[in-house]
Structure 1
Amino acid sequence: MVVRGGWEGHAPVAITDLFLPFLRDHGFTVQTSEDLAVYEDAALLAATDLVVQCWSMGEVTPAQSRGLSAAVRAGTGFAGWHGGIVDAFRGDLDYQLVTGGQFLMHPPGFVEHTVHLAPGRDTHPVVGGLRDFRVHTEQYWVATDPAIDVLATTTFPAGEEREAPVVMPAVWTRGHGRGRVFVSTIGHKADDFDVPEVRALTERGLLWAAR
């Protein structure tokens, strides 16, 4: 199930469309929804192996939030990238317990920066075999749950607001009950996924999260 909508600046339809052929090639029957009411359909979510969400900002109702959280706890995978997953439903704390992180800010414009793979993750199915890489896109500052499994980081340099460099999670996974959750902060624009490592870790993350 691909759930997409919210702020159009993150091109939710165009960018999720990049991954529909990949999902179908890996055996998924893909359904899309541009209505958060799908999160209230318990039977549908129970039959769903993976929810890919690209829904920036916006508001989720308590019933929708409870429905999504319950489905993931029961084993439905949940995955997404950038604002479509960590800049969604800012006022819903239960949703943030599912994702394990929330966007707070990014420096103005696009920033050339390095994504560093976390030490000891060289055999993880999402990032195994990849190396550190450069991207030119938004660099997210996020508040994260200490229980997440950080797979990659970026570093914010020392400057006017920081006395020392700050290492920030950029890609992570977590468990939520029996469900798996994959989050990448990279993906503001479609050509971010032209970077081979970004495309690879995103595709692997979707497969890893699936039931």
Structure 2
Amino acid sequence: MIQEMDPPSPFRLESFGNMSRQVEHAIQEQQQRMQHAHRRVDDAGGRIRQLENERREIEAQISHFHAADKRSEKEQQLVLEALKEQTQEAAAKTAELEAECKGFEERVEQDRLAYVKQLYGNALSFDKKRRALFDETDSEHTGLQLELVKKLENVNRLTGEVLRLVNRGETQNLSAPDAPYCKWTALDEIAQEWTTLRQME
């Protein structure tokens, strides 16, 4: 027998809408941080390639110098020492920029994993709110209410799948081209679901 249920109060629905907007705002901030970090990584990569080109030019100058035997031994030694010093400086700068890029990538990955866990917790919280607002045995749901429940369940499914991969340490599966839940694709899909939820309020 289906039990009757009081309709959700305006206060509950308003709280639910506030939580949805907070999650959407958090998603947008995280995406902006990731985009900024990747831009810095790309800029650093460009500087590394520039230094590599300079180093190759210096090495070409050294090879050319060895081929020319028109200078005195002392002049040759001075030029070689200067070129060697420039090569070492370029190598040191390259190593420094490579370390900086690696640090950027590690911080982006840490932020992403923390964000996924936070999003999963929010999804569980929304599921509890959904259970409090809607009785699944109530046959008098409106079409909008049922669609809202489906969207919440889809968000839980996506975030749950990503978090399971993270907890098993299979982070490489999140970025594999053939992964069923590619890390960025899943997060984009989750963000789209939250946007849809807000539009349905």
Instruction: Kindly indicate whether structure 1 or structure 2 has the higher relative contact order, using CA contacts under 8 Å at least 6 residues apart.
Output: 2
Where on the TM-score scale, by shorter chain, does this alignment land: which range? under 0.3
**Which structure shows the bigger proportion of residues in strand conformation?**
1
TM-score (norm 1): 0.20
- Give the structure-2-normalised TM-score: 0.21
Computing the radius of gyration from Cα coordinates, the structure with the larger value is 2
